[in-house]
Amino acid sequence: MSSWSERRVVVTGIGCASSLGSDATTLWNNIVAGQCGIDRISAFDVSAYDCQIAAEVRGFDPVPAFPSPKEIRRTDRFTHFGVFAGWGALKDSGLDLEKTNRDEVGVFIGSGIGGLYTTEEQHKILLEKGPGRISPFMIPMLILNMASGLFSLYYKLRGPNFATCSACATATHALGEAWATIKRGDASVMFAGGTEATIVPLGIGGFGAMRAMSTRNDEPKKSSRPFDRDRDGFVMGEGAAVLVLEELEHAKRRGARIYCEVVGYGNTADASHMTAPDPEGEGAGRAMKMALRHAQLRPDQVDYINCHATSTPVGDVCETKMIKNVFGDHSRVLAASSTKGATGHMLGAAGAIEMAICCKAVEAQVAPPTLNLDNPDPTCDLNFVPHTAQERKIDVFANNSFGFGGHNAILIGRRFTG
Q: pLDDT tens digits, residue range 166-188?
A: 999 999 999 999 999 999 999 99
Compute CA distances 173 → 131, 247, 350, 409, 410, whole Å.
Answer: 37, 18, 11, 6, 8
Residue 129: how many other CB atoms lie within 10 Å: 10
Q: What is the pLDDT of residue 155?
A: 97
Active site (annotated) includes residue 294? no
Q: Say whether domain 9-253 belongs to CATH 3.30.300.20.
A: no
Q: What is the pLDDT of residue 124?
A: 97
Listed as ranges, residues in the chain with pLDDT below 70 are: 1-5
Active site (annotated) includes residue 308? yes
Domain residue limits, the chain: 9-253, 264-414
pTM: 0.97
Q: What is the pLDDT of residue 2?
A: 56
Identify the active-site residue in 345, 358, 359, 380: 345
Homologous superfamily (CATH) for 264-414: Thiolase/Chalcone synthase (3.40.47.10)
Active site (annotated) includes residue 345? yes
Q: What is the pLDDT of residue 5?
A: 66
Identify the active-site residue in 308, 318, 359, 407: 308
pLDDT tens, position by position, 115-148: 999 999 999 999 999 999 999 999 999 999 999 9
pLDDT tens, position by position, 277-291: 888 889 999 999 999
**Does the fold of domain 264-414 match that of domain 9-253?**
yes
Q: What is the pLDDT of residue 384?
A: 98
Identify the active-site residue in 168, 260, 358, 359: 168
Q: What is the pLDDT of residue 276?
A: 81
Q: What is the pLDDT of residue 278?
A: 86
